[in-house]
């Protein structure tokens, strides 16, 4: 019964600590999320600046996991390169040590007024004040969690088994590293593990050598969050997660080589054990970050060797349009047309790759399609805003008609991109569920794709040449696409009756046909605009 009380006491305190971290991180995220994303997106190419940004952002939000997940999202979207992301990650390693430094202060007794103040601001504040209250309330819970963990661990002073186990961690640090790595990987928070270690230190239930071995393990275990977030993400996202794990493992091995000397050094930084533990965490991460920045090109080379492959290059933003030329409408419209043609070529590229992805089950193409579909969405937003600004200018009747035509055109191209995104999802579904099409169904899908690619390619060509004869050919192909869809639906149902096609493949097959037919519709819309002049 006594053992259960100890376990429940420690786990209860850890639960409160974790929830407090979540609350304050969530509050900071609500206050600063837009700024954080914008800051990370506009990083300079200088690694030191990236590391400082990572430190600053993580110090504010008190969550290196949140920063890692954000970085992976930006890598997936093509907003960041691997070098910039790793630089930020290195800084985040230092920023995450701030939590341990805060909880090492003897201010835990103030948890009640801190929590009360946070609750008042959250319940009765307005907008930003509510989230500030949430942050303060979170800090109060963190301190309460520390107290509960300390109180829950007190009876362990009488446990010879516990004392012997911790002694082993001090004499054989590898045991402590392994234990803390597993524990931190389970709870996915190095801050919580460090909070528990400091709580044990405040009750003198752990000595400095044992605490440092556990601290080293916590830094390895925390990499699990990035690893999980990088699953089914871009190649660079996987490389980022792997670089974090590599850095912390190499750093741990380095410190284990000078373990006794490091213990002596840290012991001189303070006479208060909890502060020594917090300092050991901070110093370790500062040294690892400095080494990481110094050896950055070698770290990147290493992860690229261990995770080979070509990362997809994405050119973000517009290349041709510029608001400085809005005062000359004719030039602005011409530049907008060039950007629309670029957008159309990207859509044509991923439409072609969608055929290969589905028919040959290529998951590597799925990633590229999704990335470039995001790029099309971004261009749609940029071009649409630009054309809207042009439409407000003093235009001739012909110029006004062209702007109206282009507004409809970018919308249709964007919708083709959406269908390509659907094809990417269909590919994933086909592979995951091991769905197989009959040879006849494969040929029908291929034929539909070829017709749609031909229609859309010609539609883009009609924009470039403003050719009504080409536009009429698009309409002819679109009619063929409609006829093929009806024909293939009938032959599909006939094959199902004859047992040639598997029933589980039916819904996916019909969805692919329907999406291809809609691609034909959007190609027709573009061509019709050229014919009608609107």
Query: What is the per-residue pLDDT across 328-375, written as a single tens digit (0 to 9) for each?
Result: 888 888 888 888 999 999 999 999 999 998 888 887 788 788 888 888
The model's pLDDT over 291-320, given as tens digits with 9 standing for 90+, comes to: 989 988 888 888 888 888 776 656 666 777
Q: What are the φ and ψ backbone dihedral angles of 499, each rounded to 5 degrees?
A: 80, 15
Q: Is 499 helix (H, G, I), strand (E, B) or coil?
A: coil
Regarding whether 251 and 115 lie in a shared domain, the answer is yes
Regarding whether 399 and 263 lie in a shared domain, the answer is no
* Rounded CA separation 74/41 (Å): 7
Lowest mean pLDDT: which of 109-113, 376-380, 405-409?
A: 109-113
Q: Taking a C-beta distance cutoff of 8 angstroms, is the pair 175, 209 a contact?
A: no
Q: What local confidence, expressed as pLDDT, does residue 283 receive? A: 93
Contacts of 171 (CB under 8 A, 6+ apart): 209
* Rounded CA separation 354/86 (Å): 32
Lowest mean pLDDT: which of 6-15, 33-42, 192-201, 420-429?
A: 33-42
* Rounded CA separation 7/12 (Å): 8
Domain boundary (257, 281, 306) is at: 306
* Rounded CA separation 436/63 (Å): 44
Residue of 95, 86, 31 lying closest to 57 (CA atoms): 95
In a domain, 171, yes or no: yes
* Rounded CA separation 296/302 (Å): 10
Q: HSE-up of 229 (CA within 13 Å, CB side)?
A: 26
Domain boundary (306, 333, 362) is at: 306
In a domain, 3, yes or no: no
Regarding whether 257 and 154 lie in a shared domain, the answer is yes
Regarding whether 505 and 412 lie in a shared domain, the answer is yes
Angle made by CA atoms 115, 121, 122, in degrees to the nearest 5? 85
In a domain, 313, yes or no: no
Contacts of 87 (CB under 8 A, 6+ apart): 43, 47, 48, 49, 50, 51, 54, 293, 296
In a domain, 370, yes or no: yes
Helices H / strands E in the chain, number of each: 22, 0
Q: What local confidence, expressed as pLDDT, does residue 286 receive? A: 93
* Rounded CA separation 413/523 (Å): 8
Q: What local confidence, expressed as pLDDT, does residue 43 receive? A: 59
Regarding whether 133 and 210 lie in a shared domain, the answer is yes
Regarding whether 296 and 352 lie in a shared domain, the answer is no
* Rounded CA separation 371/206 (Å): 49
Q: What local confidence, expressed as pLDDT, does residue 106 receive? A: 64
Tell me, what CATH number does 344's domain have?
1.20.58.220
> Domain tally for the chain?
2
Q: What is the pTM of this model?
A: 0.63
Domain that holds residue 192: 12-306
Regarding whether 300 and 170 lie in a shared domain, the answer is yes
Regarding whether 343 and 302 lie in a shared domain, the answer is no
Domain boundary (306, 341, 361) is at: 306
Regarding whether 125 and 235 lie in a shared domain, the answer is yes
Q: Is 96 helix (H, G, I), strand (E, B) or coil?
A: coil
Regarding whether 331 and 210 lie in a shared domain, the answer is no
* pLDDT above 60 (res 157): no
In a domain, 5, yes or no: no
């Amino acid at each position: 019964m006594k053992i259960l009380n100890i376990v429940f006491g420690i786990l209860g305190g850890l639960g409160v600590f974790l929830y407090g971290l979540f609350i304050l991180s969530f509050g900071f995220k609500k206050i600063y999320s837009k700024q954080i994303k914008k800051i990370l997106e506009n990083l300079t190419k200088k690694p030191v600046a990236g590391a400082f940004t990572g430190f600053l952002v993580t110090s504010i939000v008190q969550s290196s996991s949140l920063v890692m997940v954000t970085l992976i999202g930006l890598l997936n979207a093509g907003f960041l390169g691997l070098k910039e992301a790793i630089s930020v990650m290195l800084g985040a390693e230092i920023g995450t040590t701030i939590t341990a430094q805060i909880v090492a202060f003897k201010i835990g007794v103030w948890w009640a007024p801190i929590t009360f103040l946070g609750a008042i601001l959250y319940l009765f504040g307005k907008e930003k004040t509510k989230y500030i209250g949430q942050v303060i309330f979170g800090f109060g819970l963190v301190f309460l969690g520390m107290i509960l963990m300390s109180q829950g661990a007190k009876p362990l002073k009488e446990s010879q088994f516990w004392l012997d186990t911790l002694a082993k961690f001090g004499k054989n640090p590898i045991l402590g590293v392994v234990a803390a790595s597993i524990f931190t990987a389970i709870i996915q928070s190095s801050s919580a593990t460090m909070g528990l270690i400091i709580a044990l230190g405040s009750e003198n239930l752990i000595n400095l050598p044992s605490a440092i071995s556990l601290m080293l393990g916590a830094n390895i275990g925390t990499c699990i969050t990035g690893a999980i977030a990088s699953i089914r993400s871009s190649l660079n996202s996987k490389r980022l997660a792997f670089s974090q794990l590599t850095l912390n493992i190499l750093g741990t091995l380095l410190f284990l080589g000078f373990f006794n000397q490091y213990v002596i050094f840290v012991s001189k930084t303070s006479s208060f054990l909890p502060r020594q533990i917090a300092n050991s965490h901070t110093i370790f991460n500062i040294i690892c970050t400095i080494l990481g920045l110094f050896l950055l090109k070698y770290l990147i080379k290493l992860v690229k060797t261990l995770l080979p492959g070509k990362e997809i290059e994405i050119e973000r933003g517009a290349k041709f349009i510029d608001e400085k030329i809005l005062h000359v409408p004719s030039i602005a419209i011409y530049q907008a047309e060039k950007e629309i043609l670029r957008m159309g070529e990207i859509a044509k590229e991923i439409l072609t790759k969608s055929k290969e992805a589905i028919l040959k089950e290529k998951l590597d193409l799925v990633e590229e399609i999704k990335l470039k579909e995001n790029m099309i969405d971004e261009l749609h937003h940029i071009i649409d805003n630009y054309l809207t600004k042009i439409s407000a200018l003093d235009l001739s009747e012909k110029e006004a008609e062209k702007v109206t035509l282009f507004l409809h055109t970018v919308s249709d191209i964007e919708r083709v991109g959406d269908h390509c995104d659907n094809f990417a999802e269909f590919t994933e579904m086909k592979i995951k569920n091991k769905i197989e099409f009959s040879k006849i169904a494969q040929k029908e899908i291929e034929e539909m794709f070829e017709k749609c690619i031909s229609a859309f390619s010609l539609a883009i060509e009609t924009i470039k040449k403003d050719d009504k004869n080409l536009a009429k050919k698009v309409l002819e192909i679109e009619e063929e696409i409609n006829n093929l869809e009806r024909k293939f639906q009938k032959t599909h149902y006939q094959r199902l009756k004859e047992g040639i096609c598997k029933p589980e493949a039916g819904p996916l097959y019909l969805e692919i046909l329907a999406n291809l037919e809609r691609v034909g519709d959007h190609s027709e819309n573009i061509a019709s605009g050229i014919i009608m002049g609107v």
